Structure 1
Amino acid sequence: MADFTVREYAFISIAYEGCPDSSLNHAYIPEKAFEHLCELSASFSKHGAKVFELAGRRKLKLDQYVGVIETPCGTRIEILPKHVEIDTDDEESVRRKERNLLQSMLSVSLHLSSREVGVASLNCFKNQPLNEWIITQFLASFERLVQRGLRFDYNRVQEEQKFLRGQLQHVKYMRQPAAKKHIFPIEHDVYEVNRPENRLIRAALEVVCKKTKDASNWKLAQELRLMTNEIPKSLNVKQDFKNWLSVRLLAHYKDIKPWTELILGEKMPVSTQGDWRGMSLLFPMEKLFENYVAYHLRLNLIRWNVKTQISSQHICLYEEKPIFRLRPDIHIQHRETNQIIVLDTKWKLINQNDRAGRFGLKDSDIQQMFAYSHYYLKHSSQVILIYPQVTTQFDNKLEFKFNVESGEALLRVIPFHLDEPKKVLDYLLD
């Protein structure tokens, strides 16, 4: 079946005879795949996730979720972030840039090592769809793991043999009929490769062998499958992930764990309901953008402590107990002066020239920042809203004063250049 690539807020319609070619802003997919998306939309809505919006009987509109969806009929839909205007670049160039951005954001959100996040690694796979890129990263990590050596573990085995080994189970032996007195029920430990981490990796490899459409990925997956044929597949994925050890002896398993979680669906922010899951991976752009900004702030603000999602303040008391937490996205504090700045990230386009429309800023966002300023800073420092810089409509900071007595109570709205993250420092610390 065909693969489709679209962007946030794109439309998805049922293909019909003579329909236009699919593009980044509008895809025409088979009817069976469209019906599956409608079922997913109803499932997501029950769990409070708005991934699709019905725009008629034969059309869906995407929301702020990116990733890949695979339907039972084999159709794959890749959803990319929308941060490049097609007017300025051809569609293939836009697809490449946005795929590269999504891979970078995903690498940051998965807390991968610098080797995995490196530019060379990303450039190597920038032309691959997201699902194939994930498979490539998983197989590369698995190959390195096999080269370094898989970890073995002792497992308790109970069996019957004609010889003694380990511990004899006396009660069972005494109850045996006379004809079986030459058979010994024994219990002993076997040093083998059957351990939770290896079982999960093997289960993920089986999924990869079935799902990959890339020839080089398929070849490597089959080679690894033969090399690790003695490893049993995990029969209880959730329990095995709970038993995954993060100890020094398993340090070289660290790189492969996030890819294994993604492939087996354990790290999927939006889970599909029912028997069919395929290799569907959906991520909220709001969260990816927050993680991406926080990562680059930690990387460049050497003299500042950068924390995310702190919740030390509450907006109300109920029976003298705090309730309704205030949870800013990012909290930074200078290590020498102890100056504090509270930041929130918003994945939304605003226009610095639209004075009549209040620049596209929402009342609820401004009220939220005022609460942060009051409870976390006592109006003694600034709070900052960070929006993506996608077009020239927002390439400079906006500055507001809160209507309070303190003159230091400032709200600044600054752009974050997605392709040049260091530029944010020019607006943040000036």
Structure 2
Amino acid sequence: MSDLITVREYAYLSVAYAGCPESTIDHAYISSSAFDHLCELSASFSRHGAKVFELAGRRKLRLDQYVGVLETKCGTRIEILPKHVDIEPSESNEMVIAKERELLKKMLKVSLHLPYRDAGEANLSRFKQPIHEWIIDQFLCNFEKLIQRGLRFDYQRVQEEQKYLRGQLQHVKHMRQSPARKHIFPIEHDIYEVDRPENRLIKTALEVVCKKTRSSKNWKLAQELRLMTGEIPKSQNIAQDFKQWQSGRLLVLYADIKPWTELILSEYMPVSTQGGWRGMSLLFPMERLFEHYVAYHLRRILKDWKVKTQASSQHICTHENRQIFKLKPDIYIEKQNKKIVLDTKWKLIDQNNLSGRYGLKDSDIQQMFAYSHHYLQHSSEVILIYPYRKDKFYQPLPQFAFNATDNRALLKVIPFNLDKPDDIKNYIFAPTQNIVLLK
């Protein structure tokens, strides 16, 4: 059985057995030891309020809305991709995986502010890399570029005893020495060396890469860089060294590699897990990635609008003369007297399913009503944004009215095409369509 399993959101993971079907991106079979490790992680996440897996049977797990990569104790790596495209009859699993990987790369680049650069056709083969190998590849490319341009050194203050004078003599210590040690000088001086927080963190990330990569190309480059940086010590306090990471004109070359170093060393997880084993663990909530991706493109498209994320100026209740329970819409845009509240939902809806209310949830509509009332006083529309789906959700739904007597209290439900983000501008400012009264 392969030690790399690639699945999508909401896929099932079952324990493999003799004669079990071949794994697909929506239902994969893993070893018993890997399954038990995921069950332990699931219990740990649940205690902290994060839902990454849920039991769907005695020997079956169902994934939730987290994407990325998980490594178990037995060495199995599970790559979790977004569930964004429907599988066409003419498409293979490999084609769908390539599309979803490329989408996740774009969303991570925007959400984590990664300085990702792709050279075009020469790098098409990288699309086949799992997400963690892509991250490692970007880190190594930036590190190689940094070494070619020159690592930054720094002065370190050193206190030592020598038989010769160098730097500054520590007179008090020297005077207190016994006559037999008068020929020994306690001195203090600066050494110009490569040992500085930025270099220590990069070296520590390189050590992680050397152990975790399974790409022969990445392993070879990592070992070469390791030999060239043997004099750099590893970081003994990663959190403290990140606080001391400096920026400025002399360290501008370090700006590109910092996000990749943070990504590798922090090993993103929904919650902090107990114990010594973490593996290569990078998990991201798709709801948050989608929100950041939409907000990024709105800022780019609506340059004359003020775009704010996670606004929190309004509360839904007043209790004992103070406001409680904040209302935090995902995106709030404003231009002069025009205000619009937008909320992103990483859910798949079907505009052809009118009897099922398109797949919209009561809680989402009630949430938008609260935004309309408290942020806009029902004077402008609120907008729900869902991912675009070919043949399922490719145009805005007829607008919904919160109030039969006021056509300003409207709710729009619009698609966001992740491949054509500029289309959203036309949907936001489209004229009023057929209105459905909410009851």
TM-score class normalised by the smaller sequence:
over 0.9
* Whole-angstrom CA distance in 1 between matches of 2:276 and 2:302: 46
Q: What's the secondary structure of 2:235's corresponding residue?
A: coil
- Tell me what 1:400 maps to: 400
* Structure 2 counterpart of 1:126: 127
2:420 is aligned to 420
Q: Which amino acid is the alignment partner of residue 324 of structure 2? A: I
Cα distance, 1:375–1:409 mapped onto 2, change above 3 Å: same
Kept after mapping to 2: 8 A contact 1:290/1:329: yes
- Flag the 1:420–1:119 CA change in 2: closer, same or farther, 3 A: farther
Partner secondary structure for residue 251 of structure 1: helix
CA distance in 1, matches of 2:406, 2:118: 43
Give me the CA root mean square deviation: 1.9
Cα separation, partners in 2 of 1:291 and 1:121, compared to 1, 3 Å: farther
Q: Which residue of 2 aligns with 1:197?
A: 198
The 5 A counterparts of 1:86-125 are 86-88=87-89, 89-113=91-115, 116=117, 123=124, 125=126
What is the CA–CA distance in structure 2 between the aligned matches of 1:91 and 1:294, rounded to whole Å? 31
Tell me, yes or no, if the aligned pair for 1:107 and 1:116 is still in contact at 8 Å: no
* Aligned CA distance change for structure 1 residues 159 and 366 (closer, same or farther; 3 Å): same
Q: Give the TM-score normalised by structure 2.
A: 0.93
CA drift of 1:91 comes to: 0.9
Q: Distance in 1 between matches of 2:319 and 2:293?
A: 36
SS at match of 1:126: helix
| Matched-pair identity in % | 68
The residue type paired with residue 149 of structure 1 is G
2:37 counterpart residue number: 36
> Shift of the alpha carbon at 1:405?
4.6
Runs of 4+ off more than 4 Å: 117-124, 266-270
> Mean alpha-carbon deviation: is it higher for 61-70 or for 166-175?
166-175
In structure 2, the partner of 1:300 is: 301
Deviation of residue 118 (structure 1)? Answer: 7.8
Determine the C-alpha separation between the residues in 2 that align with 1:421 and 1:340.
Answer: 21
Equivalent-residue separation in structure 2 for 1:284 and 1:53 (angstroms): 15
1:374-424: CA deviations, max 9, x gaps? 111111111100001124121121210112653211100001112222222
Of 2-11 and 142-151, the range deviating more from structure 2 = 142-151
Gaps in structure 2 of 5+ consecutive residues = 431-439
Partner of 1:176: 177
Match in the other structure for 1:230: 231
* Structure 1 position 246, deviation (Å): 3.0
| 1:116-152 CA distance string (max 9 Å, x none) | 3786698452110001000001111111222222222
Deviation of 1:111 (Å)? 1.1
CA displacement at 1:49 relative to structure 2: 0.7
Match of 1:161 in 2: 162
Q: Is contact 1:158–1:187 with CA below 8 Å preserved after alignment?
A: yes
Query: Which amino acid counterpart does residue 386 of structure 2 have in structure 1?
Result: Y
Q: How does 1:306-325 map to 2 (within 5 A)?
A: 306-325=307-326
Q: Which residue of 2 aligns with 1:342?
A: 341
Question: What amino acid sits opposite 1:386 in the alignment?
Answer: I
Q: Is the 8 A contact 1:386 1:413 kept in 2?
A: yes
Number of corresponding residues: 427
2:50–2:270 Cα contact (<8 Å) kept? no
